[in-house]
Amino acid sequence: MNSDVIDKGPFFHGTKAELNVGDLLKPNNLSNYQNKKSNYIYFTATLDAAKWGAELAKSNSKERIYLVEPLGEFENDPNLTDKKFPGNPTRSYRSKYPLKIIAELSSWERHSDEEINNMLSALKKLSDEGKNVIYD
């Protein structure tokens, strides 16, 4: 773990992919949010951010949140840290090393449909304006 990252977790990854305990989430796979390969695997230490990950992932599959263990160094996610929010209040991170699936959360409360639709609208607006940049 990087010395400037002082978060011991627990860590979560929200997605619509069906995975099993022991599976590895690796970088260099198709992003959940854009039609391109991602150089990193992203995760968070807040359940709220993991919910957004699951709810906004591009797929019609079931939303899932996994408890994960980083298997190498990680860093603050520059897409959120200091660019959109001062510091790292979402406790969002990224790594070039795999994440190991430890467990799947069996139940969690989704954001409201209104909140999700508002977020999707805001993301579409950013995309339409060419501002949906992910620093990867």
- The pTM score is 0.85
Task: Give residue 25's domain range.
Answer: 11-110
- Mean pLDDT over the full length of the chain: 85
Residues whose CB falls within 8 Å of the CB of residue 99, separated by 6 or more in sequence, listed in order: 11, 13, 24, 25, 41, 43, 68, 69, 70, 71
Answer whether 97's CB lies under 8 Å from 25's CB. no
| Residue 78 domain flag | yes
Does the residue 129 lie in any domain?
no
What confidence tens digit (pLDDT) does each residue in 58-83 have? Answer: 888 999 999 999 999 999 888 776 66
- What percent of the chain is predicted at pLDDT more than 70? 82
CATH of the domain at 95: 3.20.170.40
Per the structure, the count of domains in the chain is 1
Residue 103 within any structural domain of the chain? yes
